[in-house]
Each structure stands twice: as structure tokens, then as C-alpha cells.
Amino acid sequence: MLLRKVPGFVPASPWGLRLPQKFLFLLFLSGLVTLCFGALFLLPHSSRLKRLFLAPRTQQPGLEMVEEIAGRPRAREQEPPPNPAPAAPAPGKHDPSSRGRRKEWLRRTRPTGHREEETVPFSFDFNAFRSRLLHPVLGTRAGESEEPQSRVRAQREKIKEMMQFAWQSYKRYAMGKNELRPLTKDGYEGNMFGGLSGATVIDSLDTLYLMELKEEFQEAKAWVEESFHLNVSGEASLFEVNIRYIGGLLSAFYLTGEEVFRIKAIKLGEKLLPAFNTPTGIPKGVVSFKSRSWGWATAGSSSILAEFGSLHLEFLHLTELSGNQVFAEKVRNIRKVLRKIDKPFGLYPNFLSPVSGNWVQHHVSVGGLGDSFYEYLIKSWLMSAKTDMEAKNMYYEALEAIETYLLNVSPEGLTYIAEWRGGILDHKMGHLACFSGGMIALGAEDAKEEKRAHYRELAAQITKTCHESYARSDTKLGPEAFWFNSGKEAVATHLSESYYILRPEVVESYMYLWRQTHDPIYREWGWEVVMALEKHCRTEAGFSGIQDVYNSTPNHDNKQQSFFLAETLKYLYLLFSEDDVLSLEDWVFNTEAHPLPVSHSDSSGRTDRH
């Protein structure tokens, strides 16, 4: 032994150690063992030695920071996420007859981004999903050879040309920037996305795919592979990143099966998780992408209903595509908080404290600040293949309260949804609230039997009111907000509310009402919008919003919004397409119009649950 070689050492026991020295030796030995074992925790996550000695940790609800997805096995023994959505097919594989015409423009290419973004090991079975799809993704194109369809086909082709022009202008002058400025022919970054770039690219992917703009889709995909990096460190809107980037990437993956989209979506989803580190789990509106940040917003003390209430669809799909339960847990907790909290007259105010879990103001709106919360309730029900009873009940309860306290009919007979401020009504309706006609139509089928016809009529009346806001302007485009007072109806009363920024909500409702009723009036109204966009918003280098819809020669705002390509043009295209193109039986659209798949039952009768 080493101790035997120490000068002056005299053994005093069979082990060669005196009692104090034995104690010191044992202390030294135990410290050495502890040090060696503890070092295992500092080894890389992929270390074989670490995996040998340490069992993998399971994710527990409420953890402040989550493990990386890479290397996590799918936790099948854990409680499944509520209604997990299946993947959508790559085009050409949803029916056997189409396999021979598999689109080569969707050839797979290996991602070339940073190494940290290259792999998220997880198996996802596309074939199983394809067997459950009720309709081909792009429809059957049935009946297009019939004479009555020729005009509709030409109208659809015109909308496709508008999308192509918008994309090519963006590519020429602003590729990689978040949005195009068509008047100055340059790009715009803004500060909403925390340093992320290419919002228009991500927002355009599924629209390009839908319209079969093959070359343009490949350009967008190549940019995502080569130039869309997540190593940013700014502060971003949780809501905007979720609906545009996460939604766009998820949709692109479900439509094409290209792994790059799934990987980027999951990695970006991980970067949003620190926003949920609040006492209630209600996320702050702004998340910091800086390392080790807690994700708390720097401005304001309230979270906005439409923002934290519009995460459910995307986060359930993130869990489905990653196997990481934390995404579903975060949105389930939001539901839990909202179910428990008292609601004034059954209404949901727009502002909630993420610290106390109490409402901050009693301002209720189905337009801005509240809108997509209600939309995501009915769409969660539909996306779950009608198994998410909690979402269904919350939606119809909220709709009844809205009818009771916010719904009004003007002296001219126009139905509108006012805004509620602590019991006092503002008799105005924002352009953002015009999505509600489509929402109510979408949910009418699953209402109580005695209410179904009523909701269909209500949806039609609200949509008619929103059309009136367009028809009563000089440009035939609608203002940002319109009022019902002082003898004026469905018109803006201030210049600050008279602008139009290429918003989609009105044509969104036209599309839903068309699919429900096939009343030709909705296609007529939609075509009026197409003509107005061409006349007043098309410029030499893209489309631009206008500053005053009541001026027949309006000034442009020099911005081609990314949602114009994601939503406005997509909904117009679908309005003039067959019902089985992105069928509502197979897909729900997030609030940026990115289609996400419905969870159908498989052949064994099992239903994936969200």
C-alpha cells in the first residue's frame, strides 16, 4: 500500500492504520468516490458512460427549464397528450392512384443549418396518417371540366397569379427579411420576432404548396434549409412567433413530410418555453431568446387573452411530433387556470395577470386582444375529432355570454358584436372581429340541435355586416374599425381607424360561409375584394396596405404584410376551390391560416387524443 511507504509510519493494526489515520483514509476514499460519481453529471448528454450509470430523467409538469428534445425516447408510458394530431401526407401519397405522379419538386434534401438544428430523433408514421385522411390534400379537382366551372377556374388562376407576383417581388427585393416594403423596394425586419428572419418565407410555404407553385415552393424550402437559423437573442412576441413561425413550419411538415420543417418547429418551440415560467403558468407576452433568460416581458404586467389563448393547436402538435409532453402540459395548464377563474357574466376579459391569475381589466372584445382565443376553442374541439369536450363546452358557454351581452342590431338591421368595458358598450366592431362570422358558422353543426339554424343565420348576418364595411368605402376595402352611432353605420369615424393593411378576416368568413352554404353571394363578394386589391393595393413591386379606404386615390403604407400571403390570398384561393381542397373534415386552420390536421380514428377504433 502507498501508506506503507510513508516515512515514520508504524502499523498499529492488522490493516496497518492507527484509528485516527483509518478515519482519515476512509474520509479520503469516500470523497474520492463521491467526486468520481458526481463527475458523471457533468458529462455530455450523449455520453455512453452517463447513460450506463444514470437513468434518463422524465419530464415533470411545472419544470422551469426543459431538457433538450434530442435523445429523448417517446414516453409512451406517460399520460398521452390530449388529442395528439397525426401527420399529414406528402402530396401524391394519399391515394394509390397518385403514386405514379409523385411530385418531384418535393424531393428531399438534407438540412444544412447549424448542427444543433439538424436532428430531433423521433419516429413519425406518415403512412398511418395517410390511411386515415378522408380527402386528398389538394382535392380531386372533380368537375373542373364542366362549363360552369370555367369562370371559377379563371378566378382561381388570377388569385394564384397575385400570390406569384407577391412572392417574386418579395424574393427580388427582400428575400430573407421579414417583410417587403414595395414602394422603397427593400426589406423590413421589425422587432416582433426577436431576431428571427424570413417571416414571409415561413408564412408563404403552405400557400405556395396549395397553389402548386412548385418552383417558388422549392425556393422557400431551400431558404429554410440554408438560412433560417435559430441562434438569435432578442425579445419576441410569443403569440406572433407561434402563429407565424411554428404554425407555418408545422403546416409545411404535415403537407410535405420534409424533416427540416419538423426539426425547426420543435427547436423553435423549445425556445418559447421560458415564457411560461410564471407563478401561474400563464405565459408572458414577450419571450427573450437569450440563454438562461426567464422569458419575462419587459413591458406591461398583463398577459393578453388572444395571445396566451392561441397556443393550444400548435403546442399539441409540437408534442405529437417530438414526443415531449411539456408542450401539451403548458397549454393544458392554461385551460386549467381559465376554467377555475371567475368570469364576469360568463365573459372573458382581455387582460390577465400571470402572477396572480386574476383579471386586470374588465374589457371584453371578440376583436383585437380577445379574438383568436374563442377561435381556438372551437378549433381544438374539431382538431380533436370532436373528443375535446372541455374545449367544446368552453366555446359554447362563451358564445352564449357574447350573444347575451355584446351582440347588437343597428337601426338599419346590421348585426354586430360590440366591445364591453365593465358593463358599458362601445358600439364598434374591428376588422379583426370579422373572423367571427366564419367561426360561428364553423361551430354551428355541433351546437345544440335547437341552436344550429340560429347560429348559421347569425354567422351570415355578421358576415353581411362586415361586407357592408367594405361596400360603404370608396375603395371597396374595409377599415380597421367601424362604428354604429351618430347615424353612421359600418363606417370608420376617425382617420386613425380608416386604414386597410391587407387583412384577411372578412374573406376568411366568406370562405367558411361558402363552404357551408354554397351561396354564390360569397364568391361575388370575394371577387370584389380581389378587384379592389388589384386596383388599390397592387404596386410595381408587390402589394401594399392603404392609409384611407375612403379616399379613391389612397396613399400606400409601404408594407406587404406576411399574413397577406399566408391568409388573405389563401382564403381567397380556397373560396374559389372545391370543398375537398384542404377539406375542413381533415384540417383546421390556425389563426394565421396554417392548416393543421384533424385527429381521425385509425382502423382499430383508437382515436388519437389531444
Distance CA 53, CA 41 (A): 10
Question: What does each C-alpha distance from 547 to 496, 501, 529 come to in angstroms?
Answer: 9, 8, 17
Residue 292 half-sphere exposure toward CB, CA atoms < 13 A: 0
Q: Please give the Cα distance from 221 to 589 (Å, whole number).
A: 21
Q: Strands of 427-471 (E only): list them.
A: 428-430
Report how far residue 501's alpha carbon sits from residue 480's, in angstroms, rounded to the nearest whole number: 8
Strands 363-364, 419-421: pairing is antiparallel
Measuring CA to CA, which residue among 194, 92, 190, 180 is closest to residue 138? 92
Q: What is the C-alpha separation between 257 and 270, in angstroms, rounded?
A: 21
Which of 155, 176, 161, 111 shows the shortest CA–CA distance to 562? 176
The answer to whether 591 is a known ligand-binding residue is: yes
Do 266 and 249 contact (CB within 8 A), yes or no?
no
CA 547/CA 500 separation, integer angstroms: 6
Question: For the CA atoms of 511, 513, 516, 517, what is the dihedral angle to 10 degrees?
Answer: -120
Q: What share of the chain is helix, strand, coil (3-state, %, to 5)?
A: 45, 10, 40
Name the helix (H) or strand (E) containing 488.
strand 488-491
| Residue 541 near residue 169, CB atoms below 8 Å | yes
Amino acid occupying residue 464: K
Q: How far apart are CA 192 and CA 578, in angstroms?
A: 36
**Partners of 259 in the beta sheet?**
none
E-strand ranges in 498-599 read 538-539, 542-543, 587-589, 595-597
Could you tell me which residues are beta bridge partners of residue 187? 180
Between CA 607 and CA 143 the distance in angstroms is: 33
Q: Which residues are the active-site residues?
A: 240, 371, 480, 505
Q: Which residue has the cell 389538394?
A: 138
Q: Which residue carries 374588465 as its cell?
A: 362
**Spatial contact of 229 and 188, defined as CB atoms under 8 Å apart:** no
Are the C-beta atoms of 375 and 367 separated by less than 8 Å? no
| Contact (CB, 8 A) for 310 and 376 | yes
All residues at 6 or more sequence positions from 29 whose CB lies less than 8 Å from its CB, including other chains = none
Q: Which residues are annotated as a binding site for Ca(2+)?
A: 591
